[in-house]
Amino acid sequence: MENQQPAPAFLWSIFSMKCPRCRRGPMFRHPNPYKKLSLSHIFDMHDNCPECGQKFDLETGFWYGTGYVSYALAVAISVATFVAWLVLIGVSTEDNRVFYWLGLNGVLLVVLQPWMMRLSRVIYLNFFVSYDPQYKQTKPVEFDHKQ
């Protein structure tokens, strides 16, 4: 019997930005999105997974859907910071605490934007490509362009 490695954890593969098919190969050429302040560096991806050969850009315009995922991430972060602010500091109509939260939340979203843009690509690709434990023996996922 062949010695099989355990499947990498789903959430860990998303947060470490690995290929959804093998959960081992990196999706981005550089793991740090903050290394340079250029937008081209943020999206500097491999064309195919170095581990399993999965093509990342499945069709022309494929990544446009990541805007919805990025929006959902921004809303989730905003809700989480609001709940944390509400529990730790409180919100009142008597003073300007809610405006301090808005400012802090805005700065946090701007600082986290490069990471959120990459994370949204990883999550979006996971909608279309699922984990394949036999990725070395099977072909990568491709879209059918004949329709």
Residue 119: closest CA among 9, 13, 39, 21: 13
pLDDT at 133 over 90: no
Position with higher pLDDT, 36 vs 100 = 100
Domain boundaries, the chain: 10-128
Residue 1 predicted with pLDDT over 50: no
Q: Tell me how far apart the alpha carbons of residues 19 and 143 are, in angstroms, rounded to a whole number.
A: 17
Say whether pLDDT at 34 is over 90: no
Kindly tell me if the per-residue pLDDT of 18 is higher than 50: yes
Rounded CA separation 55/129 (Å): 10
58/63 Cα distance (integer angstroms):
9
The single residue listed with the structure tokens 């937008």 is 39
CA 118 to chain centre: 5
pLDDT digits (tens, 9 = 90+) for 58-79: 888 888 999 999 999 999 999 9
